[in-house]
Amino acid sequence: MNIAYITYENVGKYASSVEDEDGKLLSFLQEKGLAIAEEKWTDESVDWSTYTHAVLKSPWDYFDKFPQFNDWLNGLEKLNIKLLNPYDTIRWNSDKHYLAAIQKEGLSVTQTQFCEKNTLPDLKSYFQILGADELVIKPTVSGGSKNTFRFTKQTVLEIEVLIHLLLKEEAFMIQPFLKEIEDEGEWSFLFFNGDFSHSLLKKAKSGDFRVQHYLGGTIHPQNPSDEQISIAKQYVDLFAKDCLYARVDGVDVNGAFNLMELELIEPFLFLFTHPQAYENYYKALKAMLS
């Protein structure tokens, strides 16, 4: 058994500002005796046929190189390498149209409207459609707040010009800006092999709405209630079967959990925020390798 630990070519974007989680987790797993080695998914010199398994840890630039990423996935699959998380799940989760599928199953999702590629939507209409005075728009294939914009009725025309240009390249999604993100923060619940591990609140820096820690956001470990864990686990049980890891991100709105994203490709796992998190990850991986 030989395991590829998949990361990306770090050019200064997206990297964590709080911990070298990739390096620490890799060392932890190697110290446990696993035959696991780091490989960058874009490295064309790698002989992938030498691996039996691959852990998709942090391909953080996949959305910048989406066609190449899909070709790489197809190549791994042809080699019969077992990928954690599974291939079909990764493909499904790579485009945020998946939020519509989750909502169809009756689970709560933040209101979302989609603007398809090569369309010229009237962005003003979405204030009424979504019942909000402030909106957020971003690509359906994206991460790291790339091409993510927050706008009001006063700024919509300026944003619309830009979005119409960007829509020539890819689809976008629109959601209401949730004041709760500013006031309370965004919850993250981490699950390994379907079992809850730990949770935290991510809060944006003053004057911002993006909670990513490399953009100045702060991290606050939490002790969620059994009910909160149970609600988050519903998303994992239905849509993250056979996944080594899953991160359920959402916001409490009027006492109800609203999913923002179900992260199954490259989420930062915030392992440093819980004393058992590294061990939880290792036990989940061992169980899936056996």
Q: Is residue 164 in a domain?
A: yes
pLDDT digits (tens, 9 = 90+) for 201-216: 998 755 555 445 554 4
Is residue 86 included in any domain, yes or no?
yes
**Whether residues 189 and 228 fall in one domain:** yes
d(CA 270, CA 288): 21
Question: What is the CA angle 54-55-59, rounded to 5?
Answer: 105
Last residue of a domain, one of 93, 122, 142: 93
> Do both 149 and 84 map to the same domain?
no
Instruction: Tell me, yes or no, whether 278 lies in a domain.
Output: no
171-182 CB burial, b ≥16 within 10 A, e <16: bbbbbbbbeebe
Q: For all residues of the chain together, what is the average pLDDT?
A: 93
- Chosen domain end from 123, 145, 177: 177
The angle subtended at Cα 175 by Cα 179 and Cα 186, nearest 5°, is 45
Predicted structure pTM score: 0.92
List the CATH number of the domain containing 102: 3.30.470.20
The number of domains in the chain is: 3
- What percent of the chain has pLDDT above 70? 93
Report if residue 283 sits inside a domain: no
What pLDDT, on the 0 to 100 scale, is given for residue 62? 95
Q: Looking at residue 11, which CATH number applies to its domain?
A: 3.40.50.20
285 assigned to some structural domain: no
| Residue 11 DSSP class | S
Both tokens assigned to 251: 């916001």
Which segment of 34-48, 135-149, 183-197, 237-251 scores lowest on mean pLDDT?
135-149
194 shares its domain with 102:
yes
Amino acid identity at 160? E
The pLDDT tens digits for 163-187 are 999 999 999 999 999 888 888 899 9
pLDDT value at residue 1: 87
Do 198 and 128 belong to one domain? no
pLDDT tens-digit map of 55-106? 999 999 999 999 999 999 999 999 999 999 999 999 999 999 999 999 999 9
Which residues form the domain of 119?
113-177
- Token pair belonging to 262: 């179900």
Task: Give 3-29 pLDDT, tens digit per residue.
Answer: 999 999 987 666 666 789 999 999 999
**CATH value at residue 159:** 3.30.1490.20
- CA separation for the pair 157, 180 (Å, rounded): 26
Judge whether 15 lies within some domain.
yes
- 30 SS3 class: helix
Task: Note the pLDDT of residue 15.
Answer: 64
pLDDT at 19: 82
Residues 86 and 222 in one domain: no
Round to whole Å and give the CA distance between 204 and 180.
Answer: 11
User: Is residue 279 in a domain?
Assistant: no
Strand positions, DSSP E, 126-270: 134-139, 149-152, 172-176, 186-192, 195-203, 218-222, 245-253, 256-263
155/224 same-domain check: no
Whether residue 67 sits in one domain with residue 15: yes
Regarding whether 192 and 169 lie in a shared domain, the answer is: no
